[in-house]
Chain A
Amino acid sequence: MRTILVIAGRELTARLRDRTALVIILVAPVLLASLFSFALGRADPPLGGVLGVVDLDGGEVSRTIIDELGRSPELTKAVQLRRLPTEEAAAQALRAGEVGAAVVFPRGFSRNVERSGGQTMRILSPAEGARGGIAAKGVVERISAEVYARTLSAKVAVAAGMPEDKVKSFVERNHAEFSRFSLVNENLPGGSAVAAAYYGPGMALLFGFFAVAAAARSLLAERRQGTLARLRATPVPPLAVLTGKALVGVVFALFSMLTTWLSSVLLFGADWGDPVAVVALFAVFALAATGITMALVSGPRTGGESEGSLLVVAFTFAILGGNMISLYRMPEFMQWVSLLTPNGWATRGFSILTAGDGGLADLGVPLLALAAIATAFAGVVVIRFRKGLT
């Protein structure tokens, strides 16, 4: 462990002395993410596209909400509502790209709200259509706030021993009337915030990749200048060299991605979702990117082509993975191709977090896929090291 820290310390010193690299991993992602969010947020309507609505409930509360959504001047400027008969129809419309997302009011929704029971609205959004999902989430969050106020009043009444059939009239008498439900003055998510919640993670992933690639470049430099062979002749375990370098790469990547996240929240009010899940995605993505970049520079070649491949791979993965161009706008086969990249999996993870109310528990597949990528490539590097990589 001590030798790992010695090697990591040397790596850290070298990295901190390289001011250009610091700018690339800390300033550039913030600037680019802001630029994307601002430019694309202004170019698109705030919520973007068509929002599907499925009313399986048909009760008073759901009808009131849907009518108000249709009348809301702020919403109608931004998004077109499309009524859909069933959840299956909504799913089909999503697949066909006819709606960006859909909100489903389940059966018993109104009754539950009136009787203070739990109520849920489901959001349907394609994983690759995060922006539509973010829009739907914004609407649902506003509705939820209204519903919550209503439910709270009902709960208080029930807790006080009021009969169920009198709760509704009591609540309405006490200013929790759904006919007054309005979204006019609600602060709906703006276009920049929506864009920031999509392109922010994209830029974070791209520059996080660059940050770990710097560690790989450092390994390449050690190979070229012969210091790796010298290190291997010391009693330091071979994998300690790799671990020390990777450690600094991962820390820098996390720092870079966290900075981008923070700037996106502070500058645009973007919501990236559950913070624990965001950090978990960052960490596992950084490990996968580390595995790939280390594998790229541990081949037989140590010339400029190895170094160049890092840049090519970083940009290719970012494009294919939907970090620069929305996955939602790509042809279907390209969306499948994106699954070959860690960026594609991480983008899907962020879609789950930003488009719905997903948390760490919902990230199983993306996290496992990223962990598998990290393990597979780390295995390649370890085998090469054991064979005598110098």
Chain B
Amino acid sequence: MLTSALECEGLTKRYGDLLAVDDLKFSIGRGEAYGLLGPNGSGKSTTISMIVGVLTPDAGTVRVHGHDVDRHPRQAKTLLGYVPQEVALYPDLTGRENLRYFCRLYGLRGREAKDRVTALLDLIGLADRADELVGRYSGGMQRRVNIAAGLVHEPSVLVLDEPTVGVDPQSRNAILESVERLVADGMTVLYTSHYMEEVERICDRVGIIDQGRIIAQGTPRELVADLAEGGRVEIDIEGDVKIAAAAVAELPGVSVAGHGSQLQVSWTEGADRLAGVLSALDGVATVIRTEAVRPTLETVFLHLTGTSLRD
């Protein structure tokens, strides 16, 4: 019995000399929300394009509930919903007309299409503005219709490519709530975003992609635990920061940086080196405050890819 809703295997895409996606492999279970994180140029968009059947891979397969996207595109694409990064709607049509058009492309007609469009407009909170031209909507409203257009055929797998880029906080929150509701209702979601907190909020599992390959994956907690062993602490002191930093730096496996009246101390091995650090400072400086800094997914990402997600 199939347990994967979406499965990528050996996915490869090359543009001339550039290997954009390199033997990529991951799978998403039914009802799971999976976040795909990667810096710009990591192959994330190319991967998404191959998954939704917009690009043909040079090698490898994408299967949606067992249907090969390349060999059986009709069956696979019927199960897939796609929300592209940019708003991909017709500005000369109203919100309702846009959704109706996409309904017809998925084979929905008549009463069925009408009811589906009405339900979606209610879901995204635009029922009262449905008959205005999309070109006159605000960015946030367009984003909401953009998501609804990916849901017209009630897909079982939804692929969202940075759906909140350029959206005001209120609309962003509305979008995230909609996605959370879909996940809670059992929809399988592949989500990419530049906002780490969105991924942490929505996704059960995260894959980090760099140079066309998945370099780490797991739950956010697992990733943090696996990749950020050790600890980091901020210590506010009274006294000469340089002398204090030099004293701490003598400890093996500990790195330290001083800024103003604060020391930032970190170590990569060992559960807790704080006691040793405080002993080293004894008689050198007066410790005012210590605060353990919890590693985040952002830290993990930085550690793995050497770049910030928003670079």
Contact = CB atoms under 8 A, between A and B. Distances in A.
Nearest to A390: B54
Given A230-B88, A388-B49, A235 B106 contact: yes
Contact of B101 (A10, A225, A235, A386): A10
A387 interface: yes
Nearest to B90: A227
A229 interface: yes
B190 to A, nearest CB: 13
A37 B97 CA distance: 45
Contact of B77 (A7, A226, A235): A235
A386 B53 CA distance: 11
A338 B276 CA distance: 88
Contacts of B184: none
Interface in B49-85: 49, 52-56, 73-74, 77-78, 80, 82, 84
A234 B77 contact: yes
A229 B105 contact: no
Contacts of A386: 56
A230 B84 contact: yes
A236 B82 CA distance: 14
Interface in A225-248: 225-227, 229-236
Given A10-B101, A226-B84, A388-B49, A232 B92 contact: no
B67 to A, nearest CB: 11
B77 A229 contact: no
Contact of A233 (B52, B89, B90, B107): B52
Interface in B105-144: 105-107
B88 to A, nearest CB: 4
B181 interface: no
A14 interface: yes
Contacts of A231: 105
Interface string A364-390: 000000000000000000000011101
A230 B105 CA distance: 11
Contact of B92 (A6, A14, A233): A14
A173 interface: no
A229 B84 contact: yes
B168 interface: no
B54 A235 contact: no
A6 B105 contact: yes
A87 B35 CA distance: 82
Nearest to A226: B88
Contacts of A17: 92
B149 interface: yes
A229 B106 contact: no
Secondary structure call for the B interface: loop
Contacts of B54: 229, 232-233, 388, 390
A183 B149 CA distance: 72
A236 B53 contact: no
Contacts of B106: 234-235
B88 A225 contact: yes
A20 to B, nearest CB: 14
B105 A236 contact: yes
A388 B45 CA distance: 13
Interface string A193-229: 0000000000000000000000000000000011101
A205 to B, nearest CB: 29
A179 interface: no
A227 B89 contact: yes
B34 interface: no
A230 B80 contact: no
Contact of B91 (A7, A225, A230, A236): A225
A388 B88 CA distance: 17
B226 interface: no
Contacts of B52: 232-233
A309 interface: no
A3 interface: yes
Contacts of A10: 90, 101
Given A17-B92, A388-B49, A235 B55 contact: no
B78 A235 contact: yes
Given A233-B54, A233-B80, A233-B82, A3 B88 contact: no
B104 interface: yes
Contacts of A227: 88-90
Contacts of B107: 235
B154 interface: no
A6 B73 contact: no
Contacts of A3: 105
A144 to B, nearest CB: 55
A229 B74 CA distance: 16
A225 B86 CA distance: 8
B87 interface: yes
B105 A234 contact: yes
Q: Which 3 A-B pairs have the closest CB atoms?
A: A226-B88, A233-B82, A388-B55
15 contacts: A3-B105, A6-B104, A14-B92, A17-B92, A226-B86, A230-B88, A232-B54, A233-B53, A233-B82, A233-B84, A386-B56, A387-B56, A388-B49, A388-B54, A390-B55
Interface of B: 49, 52-56, 73-74, 77-78, 80, 82, 84, 86-92, 101-102, 104-107, 149
Given A225-B86, A235-B77, 7 more contacts: A225-B88, A226-B84, A232-B52, A233-B54, A235-B74, A388-B55, A390-B49
